[in-house]
Structure 1
Amino acid sequence: MNWFKVTVETTTEAVAAVSEILLANGANGVEVADAADTTHIKARFKDQIYDWQDIPHRHTGAAVTAYYPVNSNNVALVAKIRQQVTQLPAAGFSPDAAGIVDTAVIADEDWSVNWRQYYHPVRVTRFLTVVPEWTQYKPGQDEHIIRMNPGEAFGTGTHPTTQIALALLEQTLRGGETVIDVGTGSGILSIAAAEMGAVKITGTDVDERALAVARKNIQLNPAAAKVQLQTANLLADFAGRADIILANILTEVLVPLIPQLDAHLAANGAVILAGIYKDKMDVIAQSLKASGFAVTQVLTDQEWFGVVAKRESELQ
């Protein structure tokens, strides 16, 4: 079988947005080559996670690749992807984010597993390490591992937005809480919450394909058996409250989510929002304030931000 390969040249900051475009257009997963990968890892940890001298890697920018079946719809597919990519600068990204969209038809030569050589266990927070499912790994004392299949979906622990969300969750969750993970994607935040002692976790997503991916990753982690998955458009289709509401999604999706938070957050609960690009922080802060919330903590990794927010009335 041949495959239709689509590669979008972009910037580090736009990797998440481009990945979402490709996934929304039917890709089962994305492959990311990012010149900033070395910075993301080495800036956080003293240990050398990757031997970059032995691994081919980019020196500038980023590229996001997806594979689709070869069929008569490929021309229309590329046109749609190009049109969506050209809109990225209007969403706040630099003009370079809307780079060349390249295509090729390739033979099925184990491309689906070749990328595995580039993934190794990554210590993303003080207590959490993301481990590819095929890797043998013995955790150290107080180290929780999250087994993932990095080829299945965006959100595998290597991007700053996911690392920020995990770090804020680690700092906020004390054990025994209920958690809602909005836009669960790969399920990584839900799995992390289970590993760190949350008693009830619900992962929601509007995309059934994302829920299928999350379900597979949850099955790789016995502690995550308590995670329940639900199809929901943000929180509009969700009934109930939780002590912590998580969302690692783009600002354009966070803004309509914020007015829904109060109805689903338990008393004295906390909201963790990530996926916020630097020029969108004011928008998020203003949206939270308009809904009765105040930002109590901010965490940043280069141009990406994450926040913890609580009800203003409960801070007085």
Structure 2
Amino acid sequence: MEWIEVFVSVSQMGLEPVAGVMYACGLTGLMIHDASEFQEFLENPNRDWDYVADELVEEKSELETGITFFVRDNVYGKEQLVQVQSALKMLIATETELDLGTLETKIKNVAEEDWANNWKKYFKPFPVGEKIMIRPSWEELTAPPDKVVLKIDPGHIFGTGTHETTQLCMELIEEFVQKEDMVLDIGCGSGILSIAALLLEAKEADAVDIDPNAIQIAYENSDMNDIPRETYHVKSGNILEDEALHQSYSGKKYDMVVANIVADIIIALTKQVPDYIKDGGIFLCSGIITERKEDVLAGLAAGGFAVVDIKEKGNWVAIATRYKG
């Protein structure tokens, strides 16, 4: 298995919160680069070493502060990288008082434009749950499956269906969505979850994502699946911070609200989702690493949500709840 090295440029102040986001996305083995630490070492008169090689000084002097991590050179690695990028955008939107740095992502050891397309050769049609078949837009099925076919082209937005968090959430949608349901998809990415709900006969779906590119990509995917624009509506913005956006969904009383994000955002949403969901409605949340499961469960309980199902895969957890008011 080949690995791709990824570097994110971060300010010294941003190292801790950005590393926290990466851990929340399931990354481990982060390499933290703090350019100031080596400079402090050189300037410390009490340092233990009398001699430091010129080559090392030159190398470290050019060191950029940031974080390095590795993803697999396949479709899952691409999905994981896009998940991190989406989570970083949410961090920027919520931590407006912090100078996090540029958060520019650089792919090393391979041309970024090549890797952006090469992963597609690994992305083939595959089933999710009992009723859904995911089909990349550039692939053909040899025979019609006895399932709903969901065609998807994620572009540079999270949501191919290969990531455990997406699969877990789709399995819960399959379990709980009802014909004629109204669905709200928070953090929609490619639109894969809300589109799945509509293909499984939900009546209408609203979707929102902090990345403005999600609007075009989600609509392209819904069009590809012959979903009329009258039943699918996509917006962009920070639903936790933008009062006007929040009010546009408040009071609609959806039958199902879906959020495949990260634990901290889900916990924050437990205070807002009651404005969006009807009594007895279903709130599905995913994107939760195992270590944060109890934190999310506590937040859900405090928000008036009763757990009706929990699914786990790998190090990820998805939770289905019913709102009790």
What band does the TM-score fall into relative to the shorter chain?
A: 0.5 to 0.7
**Other-structure match for 1:228:** 233
For 1:218 and 1:254, locate their aligned partners in 2 and report how far apart those are by CA, in whole Å: 25
For 2:269 and 2:223, locate their aligned partners in 1 and report how far apart those are by CA, in whole Å: 28
**Other-structure match for 1:238:** 249
1:187 aligned to which of 186, 191, 195: 191
2:119 aligned to which of 115, 121, 124: 115
**Other-structure match for 2:317:** 305
For 1:153 and 1:300, locate their aligned partners in 2 and report how far apart those are by CA, in whole Å: 24
Residue 108 of structure 1 and its aligned partner are, at CA, apart by 8.4
Gaps of 5+ in 2: 32-104, 240-245
CA contact (8 A) 1:179 1:242 kept: yes
Paired residue type of 1:311: Y
C-alpha distance 242-103 of structure 1, shift in aligned 2 (>3 A) = closer
Aligned 1:108-257 pairs, distance under 5 A:
112-137=116-141, 140=144, 142-223=146-227, 225=229, 226-234=231-239, 235=246, 237-239=248-250, 240-257=252-269
Of residues 228-237 and 207-216 in structure 1, the stretch that sits farther from structure 2 once superposed is 228-237
Deviations 1:231-282 (A, max 9, x none): 2423465232210000000012111111111111013211101111111111
For 1:247 and 1:195, locate their aligned partners in 2 and report how far apart those are by CA, in whole Å: 18
CA contact (8 A) 2:278 2:323 kept: no
Of residues 220-229 and 196-205 in structure 1, the stretch that sits farther from structure 2 once superposed is 220-229
**Identity in percent:** 26
Residue 90 of structure 1 and its aligned partner are, at CA, apart by 7.0
1:261 aligned to which of 249, 268, 273: 273
C-alpha distance 298-78 of structure 1, shift in aligned 2 (>3 A) = same
Aligned 1:10-89 pairs, distance under 5 A:
86-88=19-21
1:96 aligned to which of 29, 44, 62: 29
Paired residue type of 1:219: D
C-alpha distance 104-275 of structure 1, shift in aligned 2 (>3 A) = closer
Paired residue type of 1:198: A
**Other-structure match for 2:56:** none
Residue 128 of structure 1 and its aligned partner are, at CA, apart by 0.6
Paired residue type of 2:234: L
Deviations 1:32-76 (A, max 9, x none): xxxxxxxxxxxxxxxxxxxxxxxxxxxxx99567899xxxxxxx6
CA contact (8 A) 2:280 2:324 kept: no
Of residues 140-149 and 294-303 in structure 1, the stretch that sits farther from structure 2 once superposed is 140-149
C-alpha distance 299-219 of structure 1, shift in aligned 2 (>3 A) = same
CA contact (8 A) 2:24 2:288 kept: no
Calculate the aligned-residue CA RMSD, in Å.
Answer: 3.3
Give the TM-score of the pair, scaled to structure 1.
0.67
C-alpha distance 199-114 of structure 1, shift in aligned 2 (>3 A) = same
CA contact (8 A) 1:190 1:224 kept: no
Residue 155 of structure 1 and its aligned partner are, at CA, apart by 1.4
C-alpha distance 179-138 of structure 1, shift in aligned 2 (>3 A) = farther
Deviations 1:144-189 (A, max 9, x none): 1111114432211001000000000000012110000011011000
For 2:219 and 2:322, locate their aligned partners in 1 and report how far apart those are by CA, in whole Å: 30
C-alpha distance 116-253 of structure 1, shift in aligned 2 (>3 A) = same
Larger Rg: 2
C-alpha distance 186-78 of structure 1, shift in aligned 2 (>3 A) = farther
Gaps of 5+ in 1: 1-60, 69-75
CA contact (8 A) 1:195 1:224 kept: no
Deviations 1:80-115 (A, max 9, x none): 9977654457759675145xx975486687554333
CA contact (8 A) 1:236 1:260 kept: no
CA contact (8 A) 1:247 1:254 kept: yes
Residue-pair matches, total: 244
